[in-house]
Amino acid sequence: MSGGSGGLVKTKQGLVRGARERAVYAWKGIPYALPPIGKYRFKPPHPPEPWDGIRDAARYGAVPCQSDGYLISQFGEKSYVMSEDCLNLNIWSPAADGGKRPVLVWFYGGSYVSGTANAPLYNGASFAERGDLVFVGVNYRLGILGFLHLGEIAGEEYAASGNNGLLDQIAALEWIRDNIEAFGGDPDRVTIFGESAGAASVATLMAMPKARGLFHRGIMQSGSHKKIIDVETAAERARWALRQLNIPEKEWERLLLVEAERLVELTAAAARQQVEFIPLVDGVSLPEHPLTAYGKGAARDIPVMMGTTLDEMRLMYVYDPHWADFPDDEAALEWFDRRFGPFPDEIKQYYVHLDMPGEPFAHKLIAMLNYKSFELPMQQIARRQLAHGAPVWLYRFDWRGTGMNGLLGACHASELPYVFNNLDAPRARILCGDRMDGELALRMHRAWIAFARSGDPNTPDLPHWPPYDLQTRARMIFDTNSEVRNDPYKEERLLWEAHDGMD
């Protein structure tokens, strides 16, 4: 297999022609697996079939089936095609010249129910141009189509169906292993990274035997192993879905005929009832919980960079017009405790008495959720990796924009425009407002490039960023003036540890 002249590349399946984009080349919508439709719905991905002639790869392929709202926020308008035939990937590279460049593979977030690698925010041209590396964005199945566990209902053939979205990602990594050299990439220097559910994907892939050797470094942005359920929970959710569709269990095959739009609607209805279709420990594709696997050293050879944003959970609240509509502070505290707790009284009192002048009271309780939902799980991973000598770097994104008149702060996903150096994407303006820090974007962008190139995020334009350890707990704080701080959550950390919050 060889690289091509300009945008023409020979893959194992056939020739693809990309297009010049800025100073690099882009190939879009390349299938890495068979379309998961008809008899292949709810099945693990199958290798793609070869094609004759030259496949046009100048335009994006279909996005995974999902509700339109998220996509409109990403694209600014409905300029996309949605289909179950969505197992495709996008590549940006300086040249298809066999150059053996590092490869950076992106898995988008969206709670496993929304998202696409085609979003303008995830354009990889700047990574390829500024980092002299190969960037790959992967589309994978979502919602019920990607994470419906039918193993207890449909038998062994569907034993891993609840992790199909992750198996899609593995199939993409296998395709990258077999083809990326033709695009100027090195299959032996692959870094996977993602945000939110994309970061959770990275955390889970690090524990999946089938993914071993397909990547060599991992970056987790605001996500972890938390989105994992057990077989019993997954099976009950599958039965719930069948009930909603009025399909008896013994007639489960009727699921193969249900319109994809109906399954998207059902995924959305499930979310409103806190019924999530997410990865599970199925004993087949994922033999054990990721934390257990890390504890045994399963990812000891994988350098990891992980981080959070200062105000993660604000994104989940301030878009709701009633997000702060509590009759008084006590009612707000009771609601948060009932919905997300129970929280120990000492922890609740710590956050209730935080000094946050000018902020709504609910922001104090959101800070409590930030720590529980994002910081604690990240620390759990870090401790296990460090126990086996794996290099770990931690960061926090503190830069606050003007999104929602400043209410969003440094919310969940607000670091993405900076990591990608794509400050003009429609979603960037929604998250960060009109005021942007271009210098901060370049500093973060270069740190991610450095990690992909060497497994170390240090660059000349940042203060020295030491690896994380349990003595100093050094962490890079990304802001207008970035700096390293030791143990920035010390008081909170000790409080949570005192209440057995670490494990």
Catalytic residues: 196, 312, 412
Which H or E run contains 12?
A: none
The region, left, alpha or beta by phi > 0 then psi within -120 to 50, assigned to residue 323 is alpha
85 C-beta neighbours (distance < 10 Å), count = 16
Please, which residues bridge with residue 82 across strands?
63
The SS3 of residue 233 is helix
Q: Which two tokens stand for residue 427?
A: 């979603």
Residue 395, CA distances (Å) to 90, 151, 459 in order: 28, 39, 14
Q: CA angle, corner 453, sides to 11 and 436, nearest 5? A: 100
Cis peptide before 342 (omega within 30 of 0): yes
> Helix crossing, 361-370 with 345-352: angle to 10°?
130
Q: What is the distance between the alpha carbons of residues 41 and 148, in angstroms, rounded to a whole number? A: 10
Please, which residues bridge with residue 300 across strands?
none
Q: Which two tokens stand for residue 403?
A: 């999104």
For residues 34 and 49, the answer to whether their CB atoms sit within 8 Å is yes
Contacts of 171 (CB under 8 A, 6+ apart): 32, 33, 44, 45, 47, 87
For residues 16 and 27, the answer to whether their CB atoms sit within 8 Å is yes
Q: What is the distance between the alpha carbons of residues 62 and 474, in angstroms, rounded to a whole number? A: 42
Amino acid at position 94, single letter: P
Residue with tokens 């419906």: 148
For residues 86 and 66, the answer to whether their CB atoms sit within 8 Å is no
Could you tell me the end-to-end alpha-carbon distance of the chain, in angstroms, rounded to an integer? Answer: 48
421 C-beta neighbours (distance < 10 Å), count = 21
Q: Which two tokens stand for residue 71?
A: 């996509």
Backbone angles phi, psi at 40, to 5 degrees: -90, -5
Beta strands across the sheet bearing 8-10: 8-10, 15-17, 54-56
Q: Which two tokens stand for residue 306?
A: 């992980």
Find, among 112, 103, 131, the residue nearest to 193 by Cα. Answer: 103
Q: CA angle, corner 223, sides to 483 and 79, nearest 5? A: 105
